[in-house]
C-alpha cells in the first residue's frame, strides 16, 4: 500500500483572522503550537505505511505556517520525510531574514507568500495587516536567503477594486520577478460578516471577473509567464534556465493523484477512499496524544467519481488530456456541441485522442467543464 507520493500538512494558526477567509484557522493559541506539531508527527507515524520512502512533494499550508512558534516549526520540518519539493505558505509580516534562513536550512525549497494586493485601500478591505512595503521586504528576505522558487498569491475582485488597481497589482508583483504567481478570484461565502458588509459591491465585482482574468492573462503572458492552470502562472522555462516552475504539489491534485493530508480539517484521497479530519483542535490533540487516529469523516470514492474529478481538474491545465484516461466521464453530445462552439478541441485518433480547452474555453473553463462532464 506504500504508494502515496504527496503529503499536505495543515498548520491552522494565524495571528488574526481575515474577513474573507474560509480556511480552517485558529487565532493565536501560542500555547498549543508545540503539542499540535507533536500531534501532526504522531499522525504521520500512524499513516506512514501509506507513503513511499522518498516523497515527490510536501506542502505545508494553513492558516499561517510561518506563525507557528519557532521551535515547533523547526522540529516539525526536520521530522518530515525527504521530498523533492517542499513548499511552505507564509504571511509577509512573519517573514524576517532569520525566519527565511531557518526555512532554507530546514530544507524548504519553495515559499508561497500571501501578498493578496499591493494597494493599501484593498489590503484594508481584506483586513490584511501587511502593507505593500512589508510584502516587498518579505520577498527580499526570501531572496536574500537564496530561495529561487517563490510564489506570490494575489486576489482580484476585491470590493472597491478597479481594472487600474488590478493592473497596478500585477505590475508590482511582476516587478519582484517571482517564479510563480497564483491569481485567485475573491470567493465570499454567503452569510459571513464580510459578505454582509460588501454585498452589492461583491455583485459588481463578480460581473467583472471574466474581464479581470483576461487582463491578468494578457499582462502576465507579456511579462514571460506561462498560464499553466486556470489560476496559476509560472515563469516560462525559456526564461528560467529550462526549469519547470509549476507547483508540482498542486499539479498532483490536478492530475488526480493520491495524497495524504495531516492536521485538523486536512483531506486525504487514497485509492477508493477520501477522508477529512474534523476541524477541531482539542479532539485532534487528545486522540493523537493516545496514538489514536483523530476523528474524521470517511467517504467511499467510486471509480466513476474519481474519473469525473480527474476530468474536471485536468481540464484546468494547459496540456491535452488523454481522452481514454477520462472516458466515461464525458458527455459525448456536449463534447461535440462544445467543439462546434470552439470551446474544446479534440486531436488525434482512437487510443491516442486527446482533448483540451481552447483559449476561449479556458476563460469560461468552469462552465465548459460543468457541461462536458456527464
Ligand atoms: C490558505 S491561504 C494561506 C496563506 C496565508 N495565511 C496568507 O493569508 O497569506 C492561501 C491563499 O488562499 C487565498 N485565499 C484565501 N481565502 C480566499 C478567498 N476567500 N477567496 C480567494 N482566495 C482566497 C489567498 O490568496 C491566500 O494567500
Ligand atoms: S492569514 Fe491567511 S489563513 Fe489566516 S485568516 Fe488570513 S487568509 Fe486565512
What domains, with CATH codes, occur in the chain?
6-253 (3.80.30.20), 303-372 (1.10.10.10)
Set of cell numbers at residue 358: 481552447
- Please check whether residue 348 is in contact with residue 356, taking contact to mean a CB–CB distance below 8 angstroms: no
CA-nearest residue, atom 3 of ligand 2: 63
Q: What is the pTM of this model?
A: 0.96
Phi, psi values for residue 23, rounded to 5°: -80, 165
Instruction: Say which residue the cell 471577473 belongs to.
Output: 209
Cβ partners under 8 Å of residue 244, min gap 6: 234, 237
Q: Among the listed ranges 103-107, 158-162, 177-181, 349-353, which one has the minimum average pLDDT value?
A: 349-353
The CA distance from 187 to 7, in Å, is: 26
**Atom number in ligand 2 closest to CA 20:** 7
Strands 354-357 and 321-322: antiparallel
- pLDDT band at 350; cut points 50, 70, 90: confident
- pLDDT beyond 80 at 176: yes
Q: What is the pLDDT of residue 351?
A: 82
pLDDT value of position 1: 67
Q: Taking residues 57-66, what's their average pLDDT?
A: 97
Beta bridge partners of 155: 184
CA of 141 to the centre of ligand 1 (A): 21
Q: Which ligand is nearest to the CA of 18?
A: 2
Q: How far is the CA of 6 from the centre of ligand 1 (A)?
A: 21
Q: What is the mean pLDDT of residues 366-373?
A: 94
The torsion region of residue 226 among left (phi > 0), alpha (psi -120 to 50) and beta comes to beta
Q: What is the mean pLDDT of residues 269-280?
A: 97
Long-range contacts (CB closer than 8 Å, 24 or more residues apart) made by 338-347: 338/368, 338/371, 338/372, 343/368, 344/368, 344/372, 347/320
Residue (of 152, 114, 92, 118) closest to 20 by Cα position = 114
Cell numbers placing 171: 505590475
Please report which residue ranges of 223-277 form alpha helices under DSSP H: 248-254
CA–CA gap between residue 343 and residue 236 (Å, rounded): 25
Distance CA 58, CA 80 (A): 9
Q: What is the pLDDT of residue 289?
A: 97
Q: Which residue's CA is the nearest one to ligand 1's atom 8?
A: 114
Q: Which residues line ligand 2 (CB under 6 A)?
A: 14, 17-18, 21, 23, 25, 62-64, 91, 114
CA angle (24 as vertex; 365, 130 as ends), nearest 5: 85
pLDDT at 374 over 90: no
Banded pLDDT at 263 (limits 50, 70, 90): very high
State pLDDT tens for residues 220-229.
999 999 999 9
Q: Using a 6 Å CB cutoff, which residues line ligand 1?
A: 20-23, 61-62, 64, 89, 91, 114, 116, 153, 155, 184, 186-187
Q: Is pLDDT above 90 for 59?
A: yes
Q: What percent of the chain has pLDDT over 70?
A: 100
- What average pLDDT score do residues 72-95 get? 97
| C-alpha distance across the termini of the chain, in Å | 31
Determine the average pLDDT of the residues in 284-304: 97
Distance of CA 292 from the midpoint of ligand 1 (Å): 31
Residue 90: strand pairing partners: 113
Tell me the C-alpha distance between 352 and 38, whole Å.
48
- H/E element, 239: none
Q: What is the structure's pLDDT at 15?
A: 95
Sheet of 354-357, strand order:
321-322, 354-357, 344-347
Q: How far does residue 113's CA lie from ligand 1's centre (Å)?
A: 10
pLDDT confidence tier of residue 368, bands split at 50, 70 and 90:
very high
pLDDT at 349: 85
Residue 191 — very low, low, confident or very high, per pLDDT cuts 50/70/90? confident
What's the whole-number mean pLDDT along residues 72-98?
Answer: 97
Quote the ligand 2 centre to 328 CA distance (angstroms): 39
Residue 228: which residues within 8 A CB-CB, separation 6 or more?
A: 234, 246, 317, 318, 319
114 CA from centroid of ligand 1 (Å): 7
pLDDT of 301 above 80: yes
pLDDT-based confidence at residue 314 (cuts at 50, 70, 90): very high
Mutate to test the pocket of ligand 1, among 13, 19, 114, 183 (most ligand atoms within 8 A of CB): 114
Give the mean pLDDT of the chain. Answer: 96
- What average pLDDT score do residues 65-84 get? 97
pLDDT at 328: 85
| Residue 195 banded pLDDT, cuts 50, 70, 90 | very high
Under 8 Å CB-to-CB from 17, ≥6 apart: which residues? 25, 27, 127
Alpha helix stretches (DSSP H) within the chain = 33-47, 70-79, 97-105, 120-125, 132-144, 163-175, 193-222, 248-254, 281-289, 303-314, 323-326, 332-340, 359-363, 365-372
Mean pLDDT of 26-38: 96
Amino acid at each position: 500500500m506504500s504508494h502515496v507520493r504527496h503529503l499536505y500538512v495543515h498548520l491552522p494558526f494565524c495571528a488574526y483572522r481575515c474577513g474573507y477567509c474560509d480556511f480552517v484557522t485558529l487565532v493565536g493559541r501560542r500555547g498549543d503550537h508545540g503539542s499540535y506539531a507533536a500531534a501532526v508527527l504522531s499522525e504521520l507515524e500512524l499513516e506512514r505505511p501509506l507513503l513511499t520512502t522518498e516523497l515527490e512533494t510536501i506542502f505545508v499550508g494553513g492558516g499561517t505556517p510561518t506563525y507557528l512558534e519557532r521551535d515547533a516549526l523547526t522540529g516539525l520540518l526536520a521530522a518530515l520525510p525527504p521530498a523533492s519539493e517542499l513548499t511552505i505558505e507564509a504571511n509577509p509580516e512573519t517573514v524576517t531574514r532569520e525566519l527565511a534562513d531557518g526555512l532554507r536550512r530546514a530544507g524548504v525549497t519553495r515559499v508561497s507568500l500571501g501578498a493578496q494586493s499591493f494597494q493599501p485601500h484593498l489590503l484594508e478591505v481584506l483586513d490584511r495587516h501587511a502593507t505593500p512595503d512589508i510584502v516587498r521586504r518579505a520577498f527580499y528576505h526570501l531572496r536574500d536567503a537564496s530561495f529561487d522558487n517563490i510564489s506570490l498569491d494575489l486576489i482580484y475582485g476585491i470590493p472597491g477594486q478597479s481594472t487600474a488597481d488590478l493592473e497596478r497589482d500585477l505590475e508590482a508583483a511582476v516587478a519582484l520577478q517571482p517564479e510563480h504567481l497564483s491569481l485567485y478570484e475573491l470567493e465570499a461565502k454567503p452569510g459571513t460578516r464580510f459578505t454582509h458588509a460588501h454585498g452589492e459591491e461583491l455583485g459588481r465585482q463578480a460581473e467583472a471577473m471574466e474581464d479581470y482574468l483576461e487582463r491578468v492573462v494578457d499582462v502576465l503572458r507579456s511579462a514571460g509567464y506561462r498560464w499553466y492552470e486556470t489560476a496559476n502562472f509560472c515563469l516560462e522555462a525559456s526564461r528560467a534556465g529550462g526549469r519547470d516552475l509549476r507547483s508540482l504539489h498542486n499539479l498532483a491534485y490536478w492530475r488526480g493523484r493520491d495524497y495524504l493530508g495531516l492536521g485538523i480539517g486536512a483531506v486525504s484521497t487514497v485509492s477508493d477512499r477520501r477522508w477529512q479530519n474534523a476541524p477541531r483542535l482539542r479532539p485532534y490533540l487528545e486522540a493523537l496524544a493516545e496514538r489514536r487516529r483523530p476523528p474524521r469523516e470517511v467517504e467511499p470514492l467510486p471509480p466513476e467519481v474519481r474519473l469525473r474529478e480527474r476530468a474536471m481538474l485536468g481540464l484546468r491545465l494547459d496540456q491535452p488530456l488523454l481522452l481514454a484516461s477520462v472516458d466515461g466521464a464525458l458527455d459525448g453530445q456536449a463534447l461535440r456541441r462544445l467543439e462546434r462552439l470552439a470551446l474544446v478541441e479534440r486531436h488525434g485518433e482512437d487510443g491516442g485522442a486527446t482533448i483540451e480547452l481552447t483559449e476561449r474555453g479556458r476563460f469560461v473553463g468552469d462552465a465548459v467543464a460543468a457541461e462536458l462532464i456527464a
